[in-house]
Amino acid sequence: MNPAPYAYLRGDFVPLDQAFLHVSDLAIQRGYGIFDFLKVQDGHPLFLDYYLDRFYQSAELMELAVPLPRPELEAVLRQLIGRNNLPLSGIKLLLTGGYSSSGYEPPAQANLIITQQPIALPTPEQLARGLRIISHEYVREFPAAKTINYSMGIRLLKRLQALGADEVLYHQQGSVTEFPRANFFIVRPDDTVVTPAANVLGGITRRNILGLSGRPYRIEEGPVTLHDVRQAKEAFLTSTTKLVMPVVQLDDHVIGSGQPGRVTLDLLHALTQLEQQQLTQSYA
Amino acid sequence: MNPAPYAYLRGDFVPLDQAFLHVSDLAIQRGYGIFDFLKVQDGHPLFLDYYLDRFYQSAELMELAVPLPRPELEAVLRQLIGRNNLPLSGIKLLLTGGYSSSGYEPPAQANLIITQQPIALPTPEQLARGLRIISHEYVREFPAAKTINYSMGIRLLKRLQALGADEVLYHQQGSVTEFPRANFFIVRPDDTVVTPAANVLGGITRRNILGLSGRPYRIEEGPVTLHDVRQAKEAFLTSTTKLVMPVVQLDDHVIGSGQPGRVTLDLLHALTQLEQQQLTQSYA
């Protein structure tokens, strides 16, 4: 077995298996904290600026102060990546409410923890099979912030398992928003690609897709209803680790042909190219 | 300084200042956990059965298994109380999602942590002054479960401070529910005492008040609107540590005379007597 990778914990590098927080931390006491998660390939953190923008933004929205200014945080990340030397990994930046003597009022100092662990990309079999999803009415409390509150998503895992479904798609009165840990897109009958605009986390993969140019179809943000999903030709999920994953069924309704669609696969290809460009630029 | 009291952490008694959880715990990763909080006076946990009922109920609602059967949990509580020997204290039972290798899927074993710390009761000055509260539209995600998610309450602390207010009262489209950490009652113009019935945590002090008999006024659960609060003669907050605290102002509206009311103080007296009865029974 490999030794545990290093983590950064409140100012120090420690082996991950020795990374502990005191129970007075507000994440443990009150579920209070924010985080972010980015992918590292061959030593290069992909789209780092976007992830750090979002991390500082989430912290600000939840009134937490990141204890490191951005250049220092970047330096810590590069040190960690150098120490751990993992070929393909995810880095989690976690900022908790900190050690609170009252167990409720946030202290001046938030706790910053950074962990890095190997990740696996979706397999060709998973891509070919696509995802079956169910809908559930729920809106996250602070949709613009990447908080650590996943109570609803975790609480629904057993229902997913019982139904043989892969993911749950949140909606509010039929207006679709996002997955617990991913964004959602559909391809309308006229080939327009659209992702919900309101009450969603600004995913970086979502952002990268919206930023693509020169495709033979439009890509935009806008309202998406459950009805729209049932009428869609294709649908897919986007996330940092899953990139672009076809969605082939919503509740009892098969979407389009029930197979990964042409536009979905074209966008997956475009995203993969974009990641390769990032890597090439990093080496240049 | 006194030495740190003992805590119970995953099967062992440890000094509270040495009570740590690994960062893979689902409370830290995903804000996933439940808890309860009870008062201990002169070695006696007050209304213990009610608190333990609720603790196991919250665990079940969030699909977490308490690692100790109830008689063993009670034995651990009594051991902890004996070791720490504090005159007046609060005991927090905390059940987190446990150490998750994926950082999302709950493991078989949840983590049980029990801490005990001195508490202070409200002073006569605080009682005489009463609480000024503000309203905020929000409903907790799992109102019947005492989950650790207090992101909204904590996020609103700065607003409370800016407005010079003491607490925030949640409502949904004008229908009042509860405080982040307490229940709410009003006294209607006809002297009926009423507490919101729906979308609230079943507080033990609330339950004790609803169970009082022989008062010269009715005490009941029912719908309470923000309009009802403005029309009320009196209002008060109930909690384990605050017992019965007068509420004298909601947003810009002074409630009743703006002073702690007759019914409120009568109920505070009745609750104090009920606690004394519990203590007497414990000694008998």
* Tokens 């999803």 sit on residue: A133
Residue of A nearest to B36 (CA): A29
Any idea where the domains of chain A sit in the sequence? 6-118, 124-276
A144 touches chain B (CB under 8 A): no
Report CB contact under 8 Å: B32, A31.
yes
For residue B281, name the pLDDT band (cuts at 50, 70, 90). Answer: confident
Q: What are phi and psi of A195, to 5 degrees?
A: -125, 140
Report CB contact under 8 Å: A30, B181.
no
Share of chain B above pLDDT 70, in %: 99
Candidates A22, A30, A106; nearest CB to B148: A30
Q: Which residues of A touch B22 (CB under 8 A)?
A: 17, 19-20
Size of interface A-B (CB pairs under 8 A): 131
Q: How far is B244 from chain A (nearest CA, A)?
A: 20
Q: What is the pLDDT of residues A146-159, one digit of tens each?
A: 999 999 999 999 99
Q: Which of B24, B28, B152, B167 is most worth mutating to test chain A (most A CB atoms within 10 A of its CB)?
A: B28
Q: Does the model's ipTM exceed the 0.85 cut?
A: yes
Q: For residue B283, what pLDDT is reported? A: 67
Model confidence at B1: pLDDT above 80: no
Across A252-272, average pLDDT: 97
Return the HEC string of chain A. Answer: CCCCCEEEECCEEEEHHHCEEECCEHHHHHCCEEEEEEEEECCEECCHHHHHHHHHHHHHHCCCCCCCCHHHHHHHHHHHHHHHCCCEEEEEEEEECCECCCCCCCCCCCEEEEEEEECCCCCHHHHHHCEEEEEEECCCCCCCCCECCCHHHHHCHHHHHHHCCCEEEEEECCEECCCCCCEEEEECCCCCEEEECCCCCCCHHHHHHHCCCCCCCCEEEECCEHHHHHHCCEEEEEECCCEEEEEEEECCEECCCCCCCHHHHHHHHHHHHHHHHHHHHHHC
Across A14-27, average pLDDT: 98
Across B117-124, average pLDDT: 96
Q: For residue A273, what pLDDT is reported? A: 96
Across A119-137, average pLDDT: 97
Report CB contact under 8 Å: B7, A23.
yes
Across A35-40, average pLDDT: 98
Q: For residue A182, what pLDDT is reported? A: 98
Q: For residue B112, what pLDDT is reported? A: 98
Model confidence at A282: pLDDT above 80: no
Architecture of domain A6-118: 2-Layer Sandwich (3.30)
Q: What are phi and psi of A212, to 5 degrees?
A: -65, 140
Q: Which residues of B touch A158 (CB under 8 A)?
A: 63
Task: CATH number for B124-276: choose from 3.40.50.2300, 3.20.10.10, 3.30.930.10, 3.40.30.10.
Answer: 3.20.10.10
Q: For residue A284, what pLDDT is reported? A: 60
Across A32-49, average pLDDT: 97
For residue B2, name the pLDDT band (cuts at 50, 70, 90). Answer: low
Report CB contact under 8 Å: A21, B21.
yes
Is the CA virtual torsion A176, A179, A183, A188 positive or negative?
negative
B112 touches chain A (CB under 8 A): no
For residue B54, name the pLDDT band (cuts at 50, 70, 90). Answer: very high
